[in-house]
Structure 1
């Protein structure tokens, strides 16, 4: 039995939820997993794996601003963030000095690596997409990524190989020889799965992502869901918030549900309204959903790019939250067919373990 430390970033719930199938695969092969996380990511994984070992491991916050000022505010926060990454790395070395691990898996936590223990980085974003105004920063990110990737033995990219089935488009393209030497395209990794059930729910709204934009979208959506005919559930994506379930007409608003219940709701829903966060998009692919409305987080350039990319591919319709006309936009989703068929998580995690993880654990 090997010991593995898994540490997801706490920016939204996506990093934690896409690690769920990886952790399950490690457990299935008899390995002991310690989860090092904080905030909502820690809360989510505690609910999914109540018997696992946990370390409350702070990461770093970033100022997600309103509108288009995300990039300059993010750049201004970089000195503070780099200090936080250095503290994060020092904390990891303290953890490793107290307990022995055979493998460290970091999901987008920049300081979670060690020269003493094989370290693996999970990210679908090997290339950063920024507005044209900031193209010098996009170019500078290439050597910065190379410096980061050199710290890890391998890089797991939860995407299909570059080409027609790539879910992340240019974001997952390796830009340096370092990345190309280390990259492993695992295919989609999702905590959801298909189940046999009636499609008796007209709409499922999934409100997720970092604050304050999560709350902003919640207010916008809850003010407009009355425009939709039929039944619906709104998941507010707030595991640490109030627990009360609110019912109004044919709609039910729930602060947070387990992955199991969320999977059931996603399977039942005919149309899904959600952010264009990459983990949510992998869930749509896993479930084969052909009707969805994507609402990118304002200023979050990755989500904005993916929304544009999917419209160009004629996969899904998307709309800016400022211009959201819920009833009209939902009607437009019917003209888009969804993702083409692709390998699902069960097949992908089996290949991931046999072709990569087993090398370090057996």
Structure 2
């Protein structure tokens, strides 16, 4: 009988869910049966990607960004009791799932803090061994590492050496947690496709900042002279396609269409979320990053990659069409070793 592995990504934007796609695919290839657990758009997306797999809904964290990004830390503090309540609720949900499914042989949590069980090998996926939070970084990092210690292993989707994607987010001098650098995760493969789109816009993430960026980009890009594909990152029951001038707007794309369209696009505008960074590195793409206001992780990644002369970036309020002229002075993202030894990785189960 095949062992079943519970895979549970955080519903915070789409990055945690999409980077679990190669994990879920590899589990099936290695003879396991994945069971998906999440909530909201993340769960909807994975159900669309894997319609034949069983899935279950977990309690939502329900954290929204303030309209002013600088208030994000305050919002997190305000929402802390709600998050702690959700973590306790999802831990109870996991215990109930295991009670009724005694053939589950392992748990993989991508940043869901309560998805673990002391009787079942449990893994925590994160690229943030350091959690950047301004002048409280030391505290947020310590709290995060205390949570990770409760898992059997921590998987960091990056390479261990000095040349890496996550920088100080995923690399610490010392850590007393069983940690494996598994290599960057991406659901995509590079193809030598003909370039059909001059520009592709990829946005997702918590509201209201996702909508604010969407509206700003549609306004700024209406005078762009080339062909644009615009993906809103709104996961709905049916895919919609709208044409406004030279801009083709999708509410969402499935992985296969997204892979094809990115490969066929000369330049990508997106947030600087870590999953997006991994995807665009896998596909060797030129990009322009606009980090989510107030999200230190995205601001750090955008700043780091700009300083490395790989990808230009700017604050959301400062973006104008003319900013895209900077792209020609940057190298673009380059691929790392994306070959992961899944057989060895899954030996824990």
| TM-score category, normalised to shorter length | over 0.9
Contact kept in structure 2, 1:5 and 1:103, CA below 8 Å = yes
Give the corresponding residue for 1:104: 107
Deviation per CA, 1:181-203: give whole Å up to 9, x if none: x1111111011111232112101
* d(CA) in 2 for partners of 1:321, 1:154: 36
| C-alpha displacement of 1:28 | 0.8
Determine if the alignment matches structure 1 residue 318 to structure 2 residue 313: yes
Could you say what secondary structure the match of 2:5 adopts? strand
* d(CA) in 1 for partners of 2:279, 2:172: 24
* d(CA) in 1 for partners of 2:260, 2:299: 28
| C-alpha displacement of 1:32 | 0.8
* d(CA) in 2 for partners of 1:308, 1:196: 29
* d(CA) in 2 for partners of 1:305, 1:358: 34
Contact kept in structure 1, 2:196 and 2:264, CA below 8 Å = yes
Determine if the alignment matches structure 1 residue 115 to structure 2 residue 104: no
Give the corresponding residue for 2:138: 139
Task: Give the number of the structure whose residues are more often helix, by fraction.
Answer: 1
Determine if the alignment matches structure 1 residue 280 to structure 2 residue 276: yes
Contact kept in structure 2, 1:65 and 1:299, CA below 8 Å = no
Unmatched 5+ residue regions in structure 1? none
After the TM superposition, which residues 257-336 of structure 1 pair with which residues of structure 2 at under 5 Å, given as runs?
257-289=253-285, 291-326=286-321, 328-336=322-330
Give the corresponding residue for 1:11: 12
| C-alpha displacement of 1:175 | 6.0
Deviation per CA, 1:262-315: give whole Å up to 9, x if none: 0001000000000001111111111011x2110000011110111111111111
Give the corresponding residue for 2:344: 355
Could you say what secondary structure the match of 2:198 adopts? strand
Give the corresponding residue for 1:172: 170
Could you say what secondary structure the match of 1:318 adopts? coil
Could you say what secondary structure the match of 1:269 adopts? coil
* d(CA) in 1 for partners of 2:113, 2:174: 18
Could you say what secondary structure the match of 1:264 adopts? helix
Detail structure 1 runs of 4+ shifted over 6 Å in the superposition: none
Give the corresponding residue for 1:61: 62
Unmatched 5+ residue regions in structure 2? none
Could you say what secondary structure the match of 2:6 adopts? strand
* d(CA) in 2 for partners of 1:102, 1:283: 29
Give the corresponding residue for 1:240: 236
Higher deviation after alignment, 154-163 or 169-178: 169-178
Give the corresponding residue for 1:158: 157
Could you say what secondary structure the match of 2:266 adopts? strand
Higher deviation after alignment, 189-198 or 152-161: 189-198
* d(CA) in 1 for partners of 2:54, 2:240: 29
| C-alpha displacement of 1:244 | 3.1
Q: What TM-score comes out, normalization by structure 2 length?
A: 0.96
How many pairs align? 346
